[in-house]
């Protein structure tokens, strides 16, 4: 859709009222209630956050609620609490909740396990003692390179218990990417599993860890959980330890460490506009406050729910809505390892039917994949338990929205397309189930205590219907507190672009009903299946290949994945363009970043469209791959004659999509 049509579509968008049976039970029951509560929360954010804090357990609670303003702020300064206590102990010590299932684990290969809150409590304490036995303590960093299995939860919760800062690294990342994260976070230990299943194949994770730890590194201990019994891995004596052996010898009693609400709790790397990924730091207590509030109001999580969030533990979504938000609310969740359409396309439905899942959270890409598999397949299963379907990370297009609503939701479920970022540690925009009308394609309304706005270049608010930069004017507890080891970069990225506000890097438009529609990034980040990839990071990888002289990467819209990366390269004359070179470039990106960043196409060109100052005009490359030509203004080009050549070259080359 071109931008003008898109705005017209938004202005005319349909409104679907929340299902009546849902409204009767929801936390907020009408749009009027939402508006009233929202206005109050903006006028008096301290009262709102104080009410949230009342629902959590504190070790010491001081009176002060919010101190300072952007970019220097704290929530509940000097107050002490522990995230693990709130997610585990308080349920395990509760007579009615102790034997409730916290996690139902299921692997794509059919392996099943269940862990109650009481069992989780014991396991977490044991693993905390393991960490203590290594001499690790508050403020140390530990890298976690694991997939969705209960032991990952145990490890992360144990870190929260002791104030150890964990950094989860997506188990699809390459040794190079893992190494970079270990080195730049100064991780003292790595916790991994020996391997994980993905589409019937075994990924040897320990091998990746070993490759990442070649040469010098700060890691003193590696704990390996043998998830795959017959996968043998090499163990370095003195450094590597077997998880089960350690746990068998550990005591199941370990006190929680009292932590100041703003102490760093977790670290997660994300792609930014420059080549190197940023280590986003979240305060432990702040993250708990925020994620508890989002999970309670936006997912309406409650005791009786069976809730499945398909997100991988390598991405922040599962920390927001399951590990911390979900467990703090004491729900029963499902943890699934592997591909959700393996070994057959109906796997998601089979799981819903088997566990009677009533809330399903997944990525728009996954929902579009189900749509592609068709309605007939969905109809073969009993999906009548579903009450809410939610997503985050990329646009949920109206077509997929309607399909979900009708086919999986049976015209009676709430569809919640939430908007958030790794940096916001949650979702400042979403619908409130049962209260706000749903608009297919919109990201809903601002969350309580979050003052969002859309502004022009000068930072002035724009009128409804006018696109602009999405910014956040108020501080909130789960907003990132730093870029690990690089405070300057934190300020430059998020606060320097517009003083006094948090700059999201997204463009958006607000409609006349106050709903927000996120239009896309304003920087060089693309979103592939909800994974944020920096085109600069891909370009630096390509440029470091011996054959490449120049590289430009742009996103191309894709029906299923939202967008896919397409690379343009010019090569050194002594190299020949052939399939082997194409594959070698592809392998370079996979090795440097990971297989999810694999370009969909690599175009070999002789020229790049450049400005007079020598900058590659990526907009033109985007237009060429999308429409086969350049429509917009070409006067900025250093040499406008190159366009025809470039267009012809791309056309010529387009018969080679990469497998």
Tell me the closest approach of the beta carbon of residue 363 to ligand PRX, in angstroms: 10
Spatial separation of the C-alpha atoms in residues 414 and 396, rounded to whole Å:
14
Place of tokens 């938000």: 325
- The correct pick among 506, 524, 592, 649 for binding ligand PRX (CB under 6 A) is 506
- The CA distances from residue 272 to 31, 117, 156, 157, 492, in Å, are 36, 37, 25, 28, 12
- Tell me whether residue 163 or residue 325 sits nearer to ligand PRX (CB atom): 325
End-to-end CA distance of the chain: 28
- The CA distances from residue 584 to 578, 580, 601, in Å, are 10, 6, 13
Spatial separation of the C-alpha atoms in residues 98 and 116, rounded to whole Å:
7
The answer to whether the CB of 352 falls within 8 A of the CB of 381 is yes
Which positions from 225 through 284 interact with ligand PRX, judged by CB under 6 A? 270
- Tell me whether residue 195 or residue 314 sits nearer to ligand PRX (CB atom): 314
- Tell me whether residue 143 or residue 418 sits nearer to ligand PRX (CB atom): 418
Which positions from 387 through 446 interact with ligand PRX, judged by CB under 6 A? 392-395, 417-422, 443
Contacts 24+ apart (CB under 8 A), 58-65: 59/85, 59/256, 59/258, 60/258
Of 258-266, 372-380, 499-507, 651-659, the window that binds ligand PRX (rule: CB under 6 A) is 499-507
At residue 86, the 3 state secondary structure works out as: helix
Tell me the closest approach of the beta carbon of residue 311 to ligand PRX, in angstroms: 9
Tell me the closest approach of the beta carbon of residue 394 to ligand PRX, in angstroms: 5
- Tell me whether residue 154 or residue 329 sits nearer to ligand PRX (CB atom): 329
Q: Helices 45-54 & 284-298, crossing angle to 10 degrees?
A: 90
Tell me the closest approach of the beta carbon of residue 213 to ligand PRX, in angstroms: 27
Spatial separation of the C-alpha atoms in residues 225 and 205, rounded to whole Å:
10
- The correct pick among 493, 527, 535, 586 for binding ligand PRX (CB under 6 A) is 527
Alpha helices in 332-478 (DSSP H): 347-355, 364-373, 375-379, 398-403
**Two structure tokens written together for 483:** 């870029």
- Tell me whether residue 392 or residue 542 sits nearer to ligand PRX (CB atom): 392
Query: Which residue is closest to ligand PRX by CB?
Result: 422
Tell me the closest approach of the beta carbon of residue 373 to ligand PRX, in angstroms: 22
Residues 6+ apart with CB under 8 A from 347: 108, 339, 340, 341
- The correct pick among 212, 316, 366, 390 for binding ligand PRX (CB under 6 A) is 316
Assign 3-class secondary structure to 369-381.
Answer: HHHHHCHHHHHCC
| Beta strand pairing call for 516-521 and 112-116 | unpaired
- Tell me whether residue 332 or residue 480 sits nearer to ligand PRX (CB atom): 480
- Tell me whether residue 120 or residue 443 sits nearer to ligand PRX (CB atom): 443
How many other C-beta atoms are found inside a 10 Å radius of the C-beta of residue 12?
8
CA angle 65–70–72, rounded 5-degree value? 70
- Tell me whether residue 264 or residue 277 sits nearer to ligand PRX (CB atom): 277
Tell me the closest approach of the beta carbon of residue 532 to ligand PRX, in angstroms: 4
Residue 507 in the binding site for ligand PRX (CB under 6 A): no
Residue 125 in the binding site for ligand PRX (CB under 6 A): no
Of 14-22, 325-333, 386-394, 621-629, the window that binds ligand PRX (rule: CB under 6 A) is 386-394
The answer to whether the CB of 387 falls within 8 A of the CB of 361 is no
- Tell me whether residue 121 or residue 297 sits nearer to ligand PRX (CB atom): 297
The answer to whether the CB of 519 falls within 8 A of the CB of 510 is no
Tell me the closest approach of the beta carbon of residue 36 to ligand PRX, in angstroms: 25
- Tell me whether residue 505 or residue 594 sits nearer to ligand PRX (CB atom): 505
Tell me the closest approach of the beta carbon of residue 518 to ligand PRX, in angstroms: 4
Residues 6+ apart with CB under 8 A from 542: 548, 551, 553, 567, 569, 585, 588, 589
Closest of 184, 193, 192, 135 to residue 164, by C-alpha: 135
- Tell me whether residue 425 or residue 599 sits nearer to ligand PRX (CB atom): 425
Please count the residues of this chain forming the interface with ligand PRX, following the rule CB under 6 A. Answer: 21
Residue 521 in the binding site for ligand PRX (CB under 6 A): yes
Tell me the closest approach of the beta carbon of residue 424 to ligand PRX, in angstroms: 7
The 317-336 contact track toward ligand PRX, x by CB under 6 A, reads x-------------------
**Two structure tokens written together for 433:** 């189930």
Tell me the closest approach of the beta carbon of residue 650 to ligand PRX, in angstroms: 26
Tell me the closest approach of the beta carbon of residue 280 to ligand PRX, in angstroms: 8
- The correct pick among 278, 510, 532, 601 for binding ligand PRX (CB under 6 A) is 532
Tell me the closest approach of the beta carbon of residue 510 to ligand PRX, in angstroms: 14
- Tell me whether residue 45 or residue 420 sits nearer to ligand PRX (CB atom): 420
- Tell me whether residue 82 or residue 168 sits nearer to ligand PRX (CB atom): 168
- The CA distances from residue 510 to 7, 35, 517, 585, in Å, are 10, 16, 6, 41
Tell me the closest approach of the beta carbon of residue 469 to ligand PRX, in angstroms: 12
Tell me the closest approach of the beta carbon of residue 480 to ligand PRX, in angstroms: 10
* Interface with ligand PRX (CB under 6 A): 270, 316-317, 392-395, 417-422, 443, 504-506, 518, 521, 527, 532
């Amino acid at each position: 859709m071109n931008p003008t049509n898109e705005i017209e579509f938004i202005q005319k968008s349909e409104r679907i009222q929340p299902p009546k049976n849902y409204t009767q039970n929801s936390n907020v029951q009408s749009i009027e209630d939402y508006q009233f509560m929202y206005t109050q929360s903006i006028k008096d954010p301290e009262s709102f956050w104080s009410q949230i804090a009342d629902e959590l357990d504190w070790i010491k609670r001081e009176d002060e609620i919010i101190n300072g303003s952007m970019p220097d702020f704290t929530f509940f300064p000097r107050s002490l609490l522990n995230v693990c206590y709130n997610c585990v102990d308080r349920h395990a010590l509760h007579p009615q909740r102790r034997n409730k299932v916290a996690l139902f684990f299921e692997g794509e290969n059919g392996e099943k396990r269940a862990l109650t809150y009481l069992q989780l409590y014991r396991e977490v304490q044991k693993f905390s003692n393991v960490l203590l036995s290594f001499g690790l303590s508050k403020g140390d960093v530990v890298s976690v390179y694991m997939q969705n299995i209960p032991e990952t939860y145990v490890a992360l919760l144990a870190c929260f218990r002791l104030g150890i800062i964990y950094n989860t690294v997506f188990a699809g990342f390459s040794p190079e990417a893992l190494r970079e994260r270990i080195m730049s976070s100064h991780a003292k230990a790595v916790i991994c599993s020996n391997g994980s299943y993905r589409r019937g194949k075994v990924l040897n994770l320990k091998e990746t860890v070993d490759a990442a730890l070649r040469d010098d590194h700060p890691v003193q201990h590696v704990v390996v959980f043998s998830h795959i019994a017959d996968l043998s891995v090499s163990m370095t004596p003195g450094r590597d330890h077997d998880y089960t052996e350690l746990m068998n010898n550990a005591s199941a009693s370990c006190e929680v460490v009292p932590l100041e609400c703003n102490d760093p709790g977790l670290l997660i790397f994300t792609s930014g506009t420059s080549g190197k990924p940023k280590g986003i730091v979240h305060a432990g207590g702040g993250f708990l406050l925020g994620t508890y509030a989002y999970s309670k109001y936006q997912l309406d999580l409650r005791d009786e729910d069976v809730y499945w969030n398909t997100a991988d533990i390598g991405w922040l979504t599962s920390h927001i809505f399951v590990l911390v938000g979900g467990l703090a609310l004491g729900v029963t969740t499902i943890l699934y390892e592997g591909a959700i359409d393996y070994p057959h396309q109906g796997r998601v439905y089979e799981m819903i039917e088997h566990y009677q899942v009533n809330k399903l959270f997944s990525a728009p890409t996954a929902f579009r994949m189900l749509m592609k598999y068709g309605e007939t397949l969905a109809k073969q299963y009993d999906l009548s338990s579903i009450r809410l379907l939610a997503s985050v990370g990329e646009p949920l297009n109206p077509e997929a929205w309607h399909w979900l609503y009708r086919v999986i939701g049976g015209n009676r479920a709430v569809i919640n397309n939430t908007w958030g970022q790794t940096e916001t540690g949650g979702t400042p925009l979403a619908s409130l189930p049962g209260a706000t009308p749903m608009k297919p394609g919109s990201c809903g309304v601002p969350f309580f205590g979050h003052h969002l706005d859309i502004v022009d270049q000068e930072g002035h608010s724009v009128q409804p219907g006018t696109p602009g930069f999405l910014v956040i004017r108020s501080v909130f507890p789960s907003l990132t507190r730093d870029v690990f080891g690089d405070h300057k970069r934190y300020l430059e990225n998020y606060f320097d672009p517009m003083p006094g506000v948090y700059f999201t890097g997204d463009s958006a438009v607000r409609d006349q009903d106050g709903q927000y529609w996120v239009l896309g990034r304003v920087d060089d980040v693309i979103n592939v299946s909800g994974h944020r990839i920096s085109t600069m990071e891909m370009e630096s990888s390509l440029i470091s290949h011996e054959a490449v002289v120049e590289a430009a990467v742009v996103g191309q819209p894709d029906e299923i994945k939202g967008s896919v990366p397409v690379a343009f390269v010019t090569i050194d004359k002594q190299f020949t363009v052939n399939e082997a070179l194409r594959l070698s470039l592809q392998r370079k990106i996979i090795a440097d970043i990971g297989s999810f960043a694999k370009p969909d196409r690599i175009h070999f060109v002789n020229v790049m469209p450049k400005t007079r100052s020598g900058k590659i005009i990526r907009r033109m490359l985007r237009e060429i791959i999308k429409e086969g030509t350049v429509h917009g203004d070409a006067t900025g080009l250093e040499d406008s004659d190159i366009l025809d050549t470039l267009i012809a070259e791309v056309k010529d080359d387009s018969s080679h999509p990469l497998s």
